[in-house]
Amino acid sequence: MRTSPVWHPFTQHALEGPMKRIVSTEGAYLIDEDGARILDAISSWWVITHGHRHPAIMEAIRHASETYDQIIFAEFTHAPAEELAGGLIGIAPPRLKHVFYSDSGSTAVEVALKMALGFFHNIGTPRSRICVLEHGYHGDTIGTMSAGERGVFNAAYEPLLFAVDRLPFPEAGREQETLDTFEVFCASGQVAALLVEPLVLGAGGMKIYPPAVLAELKRIAERHGSLVIADEVMTGWGRTGSLFACEQAGIAPDILCTSKGLTGGALPLAATLCSAEIFNAHLSTDRRKTFFHSSSYTANPIACAAALANLEIWKTEPVGARVEALAAKQEIHLRRFEGDPRFCSIRQAGTIAALDLAVPVGGYLSDVGPRLRAFFRERRLLIRPLGNVIYMMPPYCVTEADLDRAYGAIDEAASAFAAGRL
């Protein structure tokens, strides 16, 4: 019998038992009410980068809380926000010169969409079309659902969603089809922006495409005067092997969205970075050109302090080496499944590893997904498959022993499924 009044995200409570309470976190682990140590192999939905409760971030939060709580950001500024903005501009791809704060990945992308449309409106050449990649996911607010893949997730809200132009995902050997489709859309002169997850489509199934495709999409956009919005909410902060995935394509987007790992995963915070041209299109003595967006907790000082501590960790600790080492370890573990008929589409991008369990019916709603999740939880592993897509995205502090155990469980799960025991 369910007794808790809490409504959990992406949870069908009619099919789920009571939720275990987590009483503490440490490094790569969650500790539940029974004292079980659960390996957080997906970084608590991709947010934890260095590990849970990194001492420097925790100390920054404690220190900031002695001075700040929330400050109205439409009326004032504060040191953590100013210093963080400077730090972000210093490490981001070139041309990004201004920072707009919000509080989640979804809101960061909503901000980006409004910036793009506002830019063209304010310069007197309004454009209204947004291009996106098939299978993309950008959040669960109305704008980001509109830009994401349509399906069971948003069918009930279809009357609220606006139309976008969808590009076929650049499957291996079919990349040109994606580029040609984008060229046709841009030729209409109505494309305000391409919104894209660089290199890896996360919730869409950990679909990976090469940097050269992203680079060519940017060149096409530039030829037609369209903007490129890089949704780096998941791909940023080392996940694909570089600080931002855009770096691997050698591009500087017009707008970049970041969240999740921005604070090392400790607190909710997001930032939308944009070029000077986009900011200047909103800079006017005409108040009608104001960028009309906000949230009550814009640039929360304590969250900004956590993000500043994260920036310092990237400067002073060998994070790049940890990312490189984790990527190498993931590659080694994936090799054990090469040619294994139980799996297909084995793939990797930096620290992200994914493989599809061969099942009669795949996709996010594949009934094997909940069974796999329960199988892993019994073994004290937080691995949350996307249907039949099993992926690993652990924090950078994960150990070789941790990975051995996780991949051993993946192997065991595949055998159990093949034998009809799962």
DSSP 344-371: EEEEEETTEEEEEE--SS-STT-THHHH
389-392 and 352-357 beta bridge pairing? antiparallel
- Domain match, 286 and 399 both: no
What are the pLDDT digits (tens) for 148-176?
999 988 999 999 999 999 999 999 999 99
- Domain match, 237 and 329 both: no
Q: Is residue 50 part of a domain?
A: no
pLDDT over 60 (residue 245): yes
Q: CA–CA separation, 90 vs 94, rounded Å?
A: 9
What are the pLDDT digits (tens) for 371-398?
999 999 999 999 999 999 999 999 999 9
Which pLDDT score is estimated for 153? 87
- Domain match, 283 and 372 both: no
What SS3 class is residue 264?
coil
What are the pLDDT digits (tens) for 302-357?
999 999 999 999 999 999 999 999 999 999 999 999 999 999 999 999 999 999 99
Which pLDDT score is estimated for 311? 98
- Domain match, 349 and 364 both: yes
Burial class (CB in 10 A: 0-12, 13-18, 19+), 215: middle
Q: What is the mean pLDDT of residues 244-249?
A: 98
Which pLDDT score is estimated for 382? 98
Last residue of a domain, one of 287, 316, 345: 316
Q: Residue written as tokens 């093949």?
A: 418
Phi and psi at 372, nearest 5°, equal: -65, -45
Q: CA–CA separation, 212 vs 237, rounded Å?
A: 21
DSSP string, 79-94: HHHHHHHHHHHHHSPT
Q: CA–CA separation, 22 vs 35, rounded Å?
A: 9
What are the pLDDT digits (tens) for 38-80?
999 999 999 999 999 999 999 999 999 999 999 999 999 999 9
Query: Per the structure block, which two tokens stand in for 410?
Result: 């993946």
Mean pLDDT score of the chain, rounded to an integer? 97
- Domain with 87, as residue range(s), is 57-316
Query: Per the structure block, which two tokens stand in for 46?
Result: 């991709």
Q: CA–CA separation, 262 vs 49, rounded Å?
A: 9
CA distances from 139 to 66, 93, 197 (A): 33, 23, 12
Which of 72-76, 295-299, 365-369 is least confident?
A: 365-369
Query: Per the structure block, which two tokens stand in for 315?
Result: 């400067």
Which of 6-20, 206-220, 221-235, 267-281 is least confident?
A: 6-20
CA angle in degrees (0–180, nearest 5) for 364-365-368:
95
Q: Is residue 286 part of a domain?
A: yes
Which pLDDT score is estimated for 110? 98
Q: Buried b vs exposed e over 254-266: b needs ≥16 C-beta within 10 Å?
A: bbbbbbbbbbbbb
Q: What is the mean pLDDT of residues 211-228?
A: 98
pLDDT over 60 (residue 15): yes
What are the pLDDT digits (tens) for 259-282?
999 999 999 999 999 999 999 999
Confidence of residue 401 (pLDDT cuts 50, 70, 90): very high
Altogether, the residues listed in the chain come to a count of 422
- Domain match, 337 and 207 both: no
Given a contact cutoff of 8 angstroms between Cβ atoms, the answer to whether 228 and 112 are in contact is no
Last residue of a domain, one of 290, 316, 342: 316
Q: CA–CA separation, 157 vs 32, rounded Å?
A: 36
Confidence of residue 228 (pLDDT cuts 50, 70, 90): very high
Q: Report the CATH number that the domain containing residue 183 is assigned in CATH.
A: 3.40.640.10
Last residue of a domain, one of 297, 316, 335: 316
Quote the number of domains for the chain: 2
Confidence of residue 2 (pLDDT cuts 50, 70, 90): low
Q: CA–CA separation, 419 vs 414, rounded Å?
A: 9
Neighbours of 53 (CB within 10 A): 16
Strand partners of residue 27? 52
H-type helices in 208-300, by residue range?
211-223, 246-249, 276-281
- Domain match, 121 and 77 both: yes
Neighbours of 238 (CB within 10 A): 24
Given a contact cutoff of 8 angstroms between Cβ atoms, the answer to whether 170 and 213 are in contact is yes
Which pLDDT score is estimated for 194? 99
Query: Per the structure block, which two tokens stand in for 172?
Result: 């291996």
- Domain match, 325 and 310 both: no
H-type helices in 101-192, by residue range?
105-122, 142-147, 175-187
Contacts of 204 (CB under 8 A, 6+ apart): 135, 136, 137, 149, 197
Q: CA–CA separation, 360 vs 422, rounded Å?
A: 14
Q: Is residue 39 part of a domain?
A: no
pLDDT over 90 (residue 362): no
Q: Report the CATH number that the domain containing residue 347 is assigned in CATH.
A: 3.90.1150.10
Which pLDDT score is estimated for 363? 86
pLDDT over 90 (residue 361): no
Q: CA–CA separation, 362 vs 295, rounded Å?
A: 38
Q: Is residue 21 part of a domain?
A: no
E strand or H helix at 165: strand 165-167
Which pLDDT score is estimated for 364? 84
Confidence of residue 290 (pLDDT cuts 50, 70, 90): very high
Given a contact cutoff of 8 angstroms between Cβ atoms, the answer to whether 201 and 245 are in contact is no
